[in-house]
């Protein structure tokens, strides 16, 4: 029996495993990098060990430090979570050799399925349908489009779609670098890319004797940058025959390797041809496991622990689940700017939990979102009797959430869930390719509420003339003007103050305070909650959220940059520089590559011009907005 468990991971997944451990009476041990010291999971554990001496991005990839932590804390078992070393056979083997219980499959199983190339060979032998790999040098125009994939790991790292053979060598090189950074293994392979396929995965569990239970399937087709955004169980629109075939293929795959514990077999479904192909087997818990738990009323972490403790009782689940569940991944990113990851301090972070709504997160208000790790803030899951009810509950929870300090994909997720194609169940891996990010939530009352809340804050803060109304004048004059910047626009609010309170064109001001303003327009009354941190003003109302920045009265000349300056879109590390001073560049030509949150981002020339200066070298750490290079002849 496991008595004290160390989770060799961080944030949300650590909190998730701790929750089950508390229910089972198992003591918990958290490990953390310096960057994660203040995250909630650290306080939730019974014992805590700091992992010292390495860069934060590499901390959870150091198996030796994790084993030392287990010894220090007296742990008798290790749960790897997902990502990092969760599918590293050498780490699993070292845990077993140290006399600890490994909460996962046999290291030999991880080794077999951890290499997608080897896994395909095994599945071919077991007569599970697979897509054949193509050697980059043997690829032809007839094979296009192609996809480059990392052999180890997942999550979209080390993955590239190639539609031009000439671009294949460069994409392979970039995929190798990204895979090496994320998983410590730069091996990649190439295969045919199925346009508008569906990503369907089957959850399996094997007891200590390798008897396999199939626990339904999930659809994970909606992806950006090959990373999942929306997942649901069961997969919508599958025929009974297709579902049965998928389940049996997954069962065969798990039996082939004598699988023990919770795992996932992933398939690419080609609906037009009614064919599916084995993609990989994840020998760990999946990020999207909550949707399966909710519709099958089970706890997959508990099943993992039971298998690790030697559970041999056979478990059977029905092929059809009870109800429906949909999960969305809330990311710190900007969908309007090619999903650029964002960093900063979460000044507010509240997502309502209620009937049919579950939130798994690793952050709280006041925590910093850094560039060292994945940009996911939380998983928000809606469940109900059917798909429509699950989606409705999920949309309501997202709209009512208060998230300040970093830009997120919250509005994007709401737009996806309300899209007619999604509502009809027409999902595919290409769904988001043509999906335009929605405009930021807009309400003409939001900037008015922000301006009046700022005025009230000024009234409360002043040390003299407390009895004088805000903006009062003996003679009516021009209105007060408050100017905001936000979402690349300028908003000017004109308002009046006096003995009778506030006035703003088009609105009746029902109430105004430093944190809350109530406005009425055309007979409809709306309450706006206003939070101010520095120049940032966050306004929340029942229909959404808007961030506005108070425009400074004067601009510091030191803040101006030269025309044609290429600015860092986020904090990160310079991976490579492709140009030098004096070089001619064309519009769209890569200038340099940045790495942030384990993803690489290319900074390109905005227009044709000449590189006047390059301010950075490979390996340099840069801040958001820092001038990386200047291209003369290009607009800034």
367 located within any domain: yes
120 located within any domain: no
146, two tokens: 């192609």
110 located within any domain: no
| CA dihedral over 385, 387, 389, 395, signed as positive or negative | positive
Residue 14 and residue 81 in contact, taking contact as beta carbons nearer than 8 Å: yes
From CA 218, how far away is CA 210, in angstroms rounded?
A: 23
CATH of the domain at 533: 3.30.700
User: pLDDT: is 134 or 7 the higher one?
Assistant: 7
Q: Please check whether residues 464 and 596 belong to one and the same domain.
A: no
pLDDT at 348: 97
pLDDT at 558: 60
CATH of the domain at 289: 3.30.470.20
Q: Which of 434, 462, 483 is the last residue of a domain?
A: 434
User: Is residue 541 classed exposed, middle or buried when 0-12, 13-18 and 19+ CB atoms within 10 A define those classes?
Assistant: buried
Which of 29-43, 121-135, 392-406 bottoms out in mean pLDDT, i.e. has the lowest? 121-135
401 located within any domain: yes
282 located within any domain: yes
CATH of the domain at 565: 2.40.50.100
345, two tokens: 């301090």
Q: Please check whether residues 337 and 424 belong to one and the same domain.
A: yes
**Strands lying side by side in the sheet with 501-504:** 501-504, 489-498, 480-486, 544-550, 536-541, 524-533, 516-521, 508-512
From CA 19, how far away is CA 291, in angstroms rounded?
A: 17
Residue 323 and residue 390 in contact, taking contact as beta carbons nearer than 8 Å: yes
Residue with tokens 């970093």: 406
CATH of the domain at 32: 3.40.50.20
Which residues is 603 bridged to in the sheet? Answer: 592
Cis peptide before 228 (omega within 30 of 0): no
Q: Please check whether residues 405 and 461 belong to one and the same domain.
A: no
pLDDT at 175: 87
Which of 33-47, 89-103, 332-346 bottoms out in mean pLDDT, i.e. has the lowest? 332-346
Q: What is the pLDDT of residues 465-491, one digit of tens each?
A: 877 888 887 777 789 999 998 767 889
Averaged confidence pLDDT in the chain: 91
125 located within any domain: no
219 located within any domain: yes
- 3-state DSSP percent of the chain in helix, strand and coil, to 5: 30, 35, 40
Residue 24 and residue 77 in contact, taking contact as beta carbons nearer than 8 Å: no
pLDDT at 564: 84
What is the percentage of the chain residues whose pLDDT exceeds 70? 97
Q: Please check whether residues 302 and 415 belong to one and the same domain.
A: yes
CATH of the domain at 176: 3.30.1490.20
From CA 606, how far away is CA 586, in angstroms rounded?
A: 8
- Given pLDDT bands bounded at 50, 70 and 90, which one contains residue 557? low
CA triplet 503, 506, 511: central angle to 5 degrees?
45
Q: What is the pLDDT of residues 278-311, one digit of tens each?
A: 999 999 999 999 999 999 999 999 999 999 999 8
Q: Please check whether residues 467 and 416 belong to one and the same domain.
A: no
Residue 172 and residue 190 in contact, taking contact as beta carbons nearer than 8 Å: yes
If one counts the domains in the chain, the total is 5
Which of 79-93, 175-189, 424-438, 526-540 bottoms out in mean pLDDT, i.e. has the lowest? 175-189
Q: Please check whether residues 347 and 237 belong to one and the same domain.
A: yes
124 located within any domain: no
pLDDT at 158: 75
pLDDT at 487: 67
pTM above 0.95, yes or no: no
CA nearest neighbour of 378 among 624, 87, 40, 104: 40
Q: Please check whether residues 420 and 533 belong to one and the same domain.
A: no
Q: Please check whether residues 609 and 570 belong to one and the same domain.
A: yes
Q: Which of 156, 172, 192 is the last residue of a domain?
A: 192
pLDDT at 571: 81
pLDDT at 312: 87
CA nearest neighbour of 347 among 336, 332, 360: 332
Residue 450 and residue 530 in contact, taking contact as beta carbons nearer than 8 Å: yes
Residue with tokens 């991880």: 110
Q: Please check whether residues 430 and 300 belong to one and the same domain.
A: yes
Owning domain of residue 513: 445-550
From CA 329, how far away is CA 409, in angstroms rounded?
A: 9
CA nearest neighbour of 390 among 380, 379, 377: 380
Q: Please check whether residues 278 and 375 belong to one and the same domain.
A: yes
Residue 87 and residue 231 in contact, taking contact as beta carbons nearer than 8 Å: no
- Over residues 417-441, the mean pLDDT reads 88
561-597 burial, b for 16+ CB within 10 Å, e for fewer? Answer: eeebbbebbbbbbbbbbebeeeeebeeebebbbbbbb
Q: Please check whether residues 252 and 268 belong to one and the same domain.
A: yes
Determine the straight-line distance between the first and last CA of the chain, rounded to whole angstroms.
Answer: 63
pLDDT at 293: 98
Question: From the CA atom positions of the chain, what is the Rg in Å?
Answer: 27
pLDDT at 560: 67
Q: Please check whether residues 90 and 178 belong to one and the same domain.
A: no
- Over residues 558-585, the mean pLDDT reads 84
Look at residue 636 and tell me whether its pLDDT is greater than 70.
no
Q: Which of 382, 403, 434 is the last residue of a domain?
A: 434
Residues, the chain, total? 636
449-482 burial, b for 16+ CB within 10 Å, e for fewer? Answer: bbbbbbbbbebeeeeeeeeeebbeeeeeeeebeb
From CA 41, how far away is CA 10, in angstroms rounded?
A: 7
Please compute, for residue 433, the number of CA atoms within 13 A of its CA located in the half-sphere on the CB side.
Answer: 11
Residue 463 and residue 416 in contact, taking contact as beta carbons nearer than 8 Å: no
The CA-atom distances, in angstroms, between 487 and each of 163, 340, 490 are 33, 15, 8
């Amino acid at each position: 029996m496991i008595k004290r468990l160390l989770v060799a991971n961080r944030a949300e997944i650590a909190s998730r495993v701790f929750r089950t451990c508390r229910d089972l009476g198992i003591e918990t041990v958290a490990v953390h990098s310096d960057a994660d010291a203040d995250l909630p999971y650290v306080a939730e554990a019974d014992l805590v060990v700091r992992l010292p001496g390495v860069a934060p991005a590499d901390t959870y990839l150091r198996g030796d430090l994790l084993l030392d932590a287990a010894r220090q804390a007296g742990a008798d078992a290790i749960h790897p979570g997902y990502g990092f070393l969760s599918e590293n056979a050498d780490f699993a083997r070292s845990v077993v050799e140290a006399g600890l219980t490994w909460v996962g499959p046999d290291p030999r199983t991880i080794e077999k399925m951890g290499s997608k190339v080897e896994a395909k060979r095994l599945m071919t032998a077991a007569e599970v349908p697979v897509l054949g790999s193509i050697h980059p040098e043997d690829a032809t125009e007839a094979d296009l489009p192609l996809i480059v994939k990392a052999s180890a790991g997942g999550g979209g790292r080390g993955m590239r779609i190639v539609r031009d053979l000439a671009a294949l060598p460069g994409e392979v090189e970039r995929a190798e670098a990204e895979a090496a950074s994320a998983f410590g293994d730069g091996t990649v392979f190439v295969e045919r890319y199925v346009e508008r396929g569906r990503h369907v995965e089957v959850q399996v569990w094997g007891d200590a004797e390798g008897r396999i239970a199939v626990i339904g399937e999930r659809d994970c087709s909606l992806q950006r940058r090959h990373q999942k955004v929306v997942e649901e169980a069961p997969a919508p629109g599958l025929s009974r025959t297709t579902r049965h075939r998928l389940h049996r293929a997954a069962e065969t795959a798990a039996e082939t390797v004598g699988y023990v514990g919770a795992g996932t077999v992933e398939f690419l479904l080609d609906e037009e041809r009614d064919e599916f192909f084995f993609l990989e087997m994840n020998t760990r818990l999946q990020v999207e496991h909550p949707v399966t738990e909710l519709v099958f009323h089970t706890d997959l972490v508990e099943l993992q622990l039971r298998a690790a403790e030697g559970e041999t009782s056979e478990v059977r689940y029905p092929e059809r689940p009870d109800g429906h569940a949909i999960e969305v991944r809330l990311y710190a990113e900007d969908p309007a700017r090619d999903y650029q990851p964002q960093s900063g301090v979460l000044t507010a972070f509240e997502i309502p939990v209620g009937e049919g709504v579950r939130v798994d997160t690793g952050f709280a208000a006041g925590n910093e979102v850094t560039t060292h790790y994945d940009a996911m803030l939380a998983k928000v899951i809606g469940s109900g009797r059917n798909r429509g009810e699950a989606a409705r509950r999920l949309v309501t929870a997202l709209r009512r959430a208060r998230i300040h300090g970093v830009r997120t994909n919250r509005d994007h997720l709401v737009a996806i869930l309300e899209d007619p194609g999604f509502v009809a169940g027409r999902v595919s891996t290409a769904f988001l390719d043509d999906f335009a990010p929605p405009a930021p939530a807009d309400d003409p009352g939001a900037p008015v509420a922000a301006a009046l809340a700022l005025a009230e804050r000024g009234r409360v803060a002043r040390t003299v003339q407390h009895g004088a109304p805000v903006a009062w004048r003996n003679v009516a004059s021009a209105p007060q003007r408050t100017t905001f910047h936000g979402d690349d626009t300028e908003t000017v609010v004109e308002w009046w103050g006096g003995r009778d309170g506030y006035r703003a064109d088009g609105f009746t001001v029902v109430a105004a305070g430093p944190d809350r303003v109530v406005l009425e327009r055309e007979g409809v009354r709306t309450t706006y909650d206003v939070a101010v941190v520095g120049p940032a003003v966050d306004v929340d109302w029942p229909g959404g959220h808007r961030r506005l920045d108070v425009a400074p009265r004067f601009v510091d000349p030191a803040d101006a940059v030269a025309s044609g300056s290429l600015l860092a879109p986020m904090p990160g590390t310079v991976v490579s520089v492709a140009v030098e001073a004096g070089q001619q560049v064309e519009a769209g030509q890569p200038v340099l590559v940045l790495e942030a949150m384990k993803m690489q981002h290319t900074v390109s020339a905005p227009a044709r011009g000449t590189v006047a200066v390059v301010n950075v070298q490979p390996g340099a750490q840069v801040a958001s907005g820092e001038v990386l290079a200047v291209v003369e002849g290009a607009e800034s």
